[in-house]
Amino acid sequence: MRRGKVTSKTPVHRETEENSTLEECASERLIDDKPRIQVQDRQRDYNSRLEFEIKEKESALAGLKAEIRSRQRLISQLSDKPGETEIQEKLKRLEDEIYVRDRQIEVLNDRVIVLDAKVKEFGSQTSSSQKDQLIEKLQDERKKLQIEIENAEEKIRIGENVLKDEQNKWYKEKEQLLLNNETLSESIEAGKTEILQKDSQLNDLKVDAKRLASIISEMSKLNTDLNEKLDILHTQLDASSKESFQARLKIQQMDELQGNLEELTAENSELKNRLKIVTKELEITQASKDKLEMLISDQGIKIEDIEERLRREIEKCLQLEHKLHTTEFSYQGELQSIQKALEMTLAELERVKKQLQAREIQEEQEKADRLREAQTSIRNLEEKLRDAEREHKFMKAQEGTLKSRIENLENDLESKKKSSALNENQLNSKIKELEDELKNSKQKQSELKKSLQSLELELSKSQAQSVSLSHRIDELKSMQEVYIQRNGQLEASAKAAKQKLASLEKEKSDWETSMLQKDEKLKEILFKMKAQEADIWNRDTELLRKEGEKMKMSQEIEELKKKLQELHAKIRSIVADELKAVNAQLEMKDNEIAILKDMVRSQQTQLKQKEGEVSRYRSQPKKTIIKNQDSETKNDV
């Protein structure tokens, strides 16, 4: 800090010099008469009072200097702190103003001390009354100056205190804002990291959704394949059931024919039995035909070939019917064994039909359950995707694609169902045609009796075909087991996917709740930031207002300085006038002193005369002497 160097002397040296000057003046002007001694006593009393007042003022000045130093230290500390350039410039301005003010106060104090010394110097020469008047005037002016200086200092103190308070508030607010900014930056970084994590999770969800879509597409394909195979099995079972029904009708008809033949002849009864066997064989051939149709549908053989074979078999049956008449008796035992075998095959066929029907029912139930599960899963996925559409816009495209795929799959299922229905209608039409053909075959049963012999030859072939069909049935069973295992695996994978979806939905809901909470926190923080910005704006306005007040204070201080300068000029003029008057009075007093000296000399001569008179009066009584002494003392006074 800059401080002015005071070149003036200390108050003690000044007092000693003033006392020395007064003593020198007193030594030069020693007068032996009593009035002069009384004046000197008064002057000493007055000088002692002045010295006491001067000491008090010096102590007050020392306190002011200490306060100024403390303020300067505070300002230096504030200036050393890191702050904005505007505040530092303001502090520098305040330092300069305080330095100038301190310098002016020191100059004023020096002038006041000089005036006090001059007053002391001239006080010994002037009269007490004039001196008192001058001192009173000077004291009044001095008090006025001190009051003005104190008012200015109080204003400066108030301004400095206000500045300190505002600076402290500003620093505190700045620290709070920095902390808030740090917390905001940390929260924003945490939110960004969480957003990145959630984006990665969403990408994982997208990948999982794609995988699920692929799994669903595979499931749908497998379901379509299973539906097609089940439809084929249903058609085959329907055909077999219809053929079995037709065979039963044929058996009943053959029973009627057998009764008629028994009524006719015993031989005809055997033939009827043989015909029953033939009808059973026909049923077997029809079942084998159905199985062959399955094989033909798998291998791509057309129905025309089957019709040609049926025609050939019908021709062979006609031939066999012709041969029956010749070989009836030889083949009775064989017919009985064949009947037993046919009955066994029919029982096996019925058992297989029941098993197939039970399996069909189970498969239909499983199919319905799977379809329901698929529909529920699809609905759940649609709902989830709709929710995701509402909350995440960027998932709309994927959800749209998934929906389109699902709709395409549903359309494919519907088209396949329609195609299966058309196939069923076609098969029904073909079955009707076959029924018509069977009716024709009933009409031709008389002709079939002739072809029994050829059928006997072909029974071995049909048995071999039945064995191959049984092997084929075993293969189909193994294929069904494989499909069941695959369905189980697919169901397990679907359950796992559902569980993953449920866990992902929970995580998504938790993330959404956390994001909502964070959004609310961010809104609160933004609201607080806006409030803090408003407070900062208000405080900036207050600072500007206080700066204006400070400028006004500085203007008032400058006005006070101008007034002080004017007062100094007035004091100088007054002091000059008073010095002139004091010099004139001193000259008058010198003249009076000279006159008094002459008077003293005359009084000394008178005293000598009175001493002579006293010697005269010694001879007189004491009372007269005392009266004369009293009268003389009165005259002296």
Q: Whole-model pTM above 0.85?
A: no
Q: How far apart are CA 392 and CA 371, in angstroms?
A: 30
State in Å, rounded, how far the first CA of the chain is from the last one.
65
Q: Where are the alpha helices (DSSP H) in 265-395?
A: 266-299, 303-327, 332-391
Partner residues linked to 61 by β-bridges = none
What is residue 407's DSSP assignment?
Answer: H
Ramachandran quadrant class, 620 (left: phi over 0; alpha: psi -120 to 50; beta: rest): beta
- Summarize the confidence of residues 371-379 as an average pLDDT: 66
Amino acid at 321: E
pLDDT at 169 over 50: yes
Q: How far apart are CA 253 and CA 247, in angstroms?
A: 10
Contact 303, 430 (CB under 8 A): yes
Contact 314, 441 (CB under 8 A): yes
Phi, psi of 457 (to 5 degrees): -65, -35
Return the half-sphere exposure (C-beta side, CA atoms, 13 A cut-off) of residue 567: 20
- Sorted by where each begins, the domain ranges of the chain are 11-189+540-602, 197-476
**Count of other CB atoms within 10 angstroms of residue 187:** 14
Q: With 0-12 CB in 10 A as exposed, 13-18 as middle and 19+ as buried, what is 176?
A: exposed
Share of the chain above pLDDT 70, in %: 22
pLDDT, tens digit, for every residue of 84-117?
456 566 666 666 766 666 676 666 666 666 666 6
Partner residues linked to 450 by β-bridges = 321, 322
pLDDT at 161 over 70: yes
Q: How far apart are CA 297 and CA 567, in angstroms?
A: 132
pLDDT, tens digit, for every residue of 420-463?
567 666 666 666 666 666 566 556 655 655 655 665 566 566 56
Q: 112-142 burial, b if ≥16 CB within 10 A, otherwise e?
A: bbebbbbbbebbbbbbeeebeebbeebeebb
**Count of other CB atoms within 10 angstroms of residue 156:** 19
What average pLDDT is seen over the chain? 64
**Count of other CB atoms within 10 angstroms of residue 34:** 10
Q: How far apart are CA 119 and CA 126, in angstroms?
A: 10
pLDDT, tens digit, for every residue of 575-597?
777 778 777 877 886 777 677 66
Q: 533-570 burial, b if ≥16 CB within 10 A, otherwise e?
A: eeeeeeeeeebeebeeebeebbeebeebeeebeebeee
Block residue for tokens 């699809």 = 378
Confidence of residue 563 (pLDDT cuts 50, 70, 90): confident
Contact 113, 7 (CB under 8 A): no
Phi, psi of 412 (to 5 degrees): -60, -40
Q: How far apart are CA 72 and CA 253, in angstroms?
A: 136
Residues 6+ apart with CB under 8 A from 251: 276, 279, 280, 283
pLDDT, tens digit, for every residue of 111-156?
666 666 665 665 555 555 565 666 676 667 667 766 776 776 777 6
Q: Count H helices, E strands: the chain?
A: 11, 1
pLDDT, tens digit, for every residue of 258-302?
555 556 556 555 655 665 665 666 566 556 556 655 655 555 445
Q: What is the predicted pLDDT for the residue at 615?
A: 72
Identify the CA nearest to 44 among candidates 60, 22, 63, 16.
22
Confidence of residue 29 (pLDDT cuts 50, 70, 90): very low
Q: What is the predicted pLDDT for the residue at 481?
A: 72
Rounded to 5°, the CA angle 233-235-238 comes to: 105
pLDDT at 361 over 60: yes
Q: What is the predicted pLDDT for the residue at 13?
A: 44
Q: How far apart are CA 540 and CA 172, in angstroms?
A: 14
- Summarize the confidence of residues 472-492 as an average pLDDT: 67
Phi, psi of 55 (to 5 degrees): -60, -45
Phi, psi of 7 (to 5 degrees): -95, -5
Q: What is the predicted pLDDT for the residue at 279?
A: 60
Q: What is the predicted pLDDT for the residue at 374?
A: 60
Token pair of 455 as six digits: 């059928």
Q: How far apart are CA 402 and CA 212, in angstroms?
A: 10
Confidence of residue 353 (pLDDT cuts 50, 70, 90): low
Q: How far apart are CA 356 and CA 390, in angstroms?
A: 49
Q: How far apart are CA 243 and CA 290, in angstroms?
A: 9
What is residue 451's DSSP assignment?
Answer: E
Q: What is the predicted pLDDT for the residue at 333?
A: 59
Confidence of residue 466 (pLDDT cuts 50, 70, 90): low
Radius of gyration of the chain (CA): 70
Residues 6+ apart with CB under 8 A from 462: 281, 284, 285, 288
* Residue-wise DSSP of 354-373: HHHHHHHHHHHHHHHHHHHH
pLDDT at 558 over 60: yes
- Residue 118 CA to its chain's centroid (Å): 79
pLDDT at 26 over 50: no
Helix (H) or strand (E) holding 184: helix 128-264
Helix (H, G, I), strand (E, B) or coil at 7: coil
**The residue count for the chain:** 637
Helix (H) or strand (E) holding 5: none
Token pair of 46 as six digits: 């007055």
Contact 47, 25 (CB under 8 A): no
